[in-house]
A = this chain, B = another copy of it.
């Protein structure tokens, strides 16, 4: 039993782009478990774009990540010691322990998962928060009809990949936006999207237009900026835009929307959401997604960094699109 816990704290807020200097690795002794507590060895740490928002001290849906505390984050791991009747050593669990090797909890917010048919890490991806996010935005906001076209930004990512595949299962045309030929090839060939536009190729609007010959009925927005401007210009009447992420604005420089009047002229619905405010849909969403993963009908890809000390670098890389699929840190 290790007696030291390695943790990464947020020690300063970004001025513009985030950097590794905003984080600090510390070692903290592990206190003995109290009655009712459970200790988890984290195997995987989830890195997600929303964390960048939490690093800022600005008005948002969630309180900022406090300074000098363990950086927030979802985790998947194994119970190593338990003084809580609901858990026993060996249980696989998903929680929100953040960027650290061990988590100690009274059991609240800790969920046992079955990794027989679904790999443990998938509970941080397609069968976890990113999957539920994609499921909610697609089914509850966009609600595509067969034959409609759905555009998804960050299409090879943890959320986007789920959105496009579910759109296809619903009979819609799925068009991704991703950065680079390799990601676009994956989105079409492995994930089964009908088309994917490489925003790095320099012809975003023209390429999107070619990929959406009948216009766009649904947009699942993870990024904002140029991709959203281009998609908005392709929206059909009564289109729906689910706003799930706005990476383009995270560094503090506001990214305007160029033609907001299209919201009126095309009578669009634009709905921002965060999945933790819709906990009611998680059971149905995760059951459906878990079944699809177990049946290998829902594909996903992981970018895995190794070792807690590499989490900051992996996180910053993800914000720049250097990951390819769900970004994880493997801790053990």
Contacts and interface: CB of A to CB of B under 8 A. Distances in A.
A255 interface: yes
A245 B277 CA distance: 31
Contacts of A60: 265
Interface string A265-300: 111111111100100000000000000000000000
Contacts of A237: 61
Give the number of times this chain occurs in the complex, counting copies: 2
Given A267-B274, A269-B270, A272-B266, A260 B261 contact: no
Contact of A268 (B248, B255, B267, B272): B272
Nearest to A229: B256
Interface string A226-267: 001000000001000001111011000011111111011111
A255 B260 contact: yes
A267 B141 CA distance: 12
A243 B266 CA distance: 11
A277 B256 CA distance: 29
Contact of A267 (B53, B259, B269, B277): B277
Interface string A193-225: 000000000000000000000000000000010
Contacts of A258: 254, 256
Interface of A: 53, 59-61, 224, 228, 237, 243-246, 248-249, 254-261, 263-274, 277
Given A246-B260, A249-B259, A256-B258, 4 more contacts: A224-B261, A244-B264, A268-B271, A268-B272
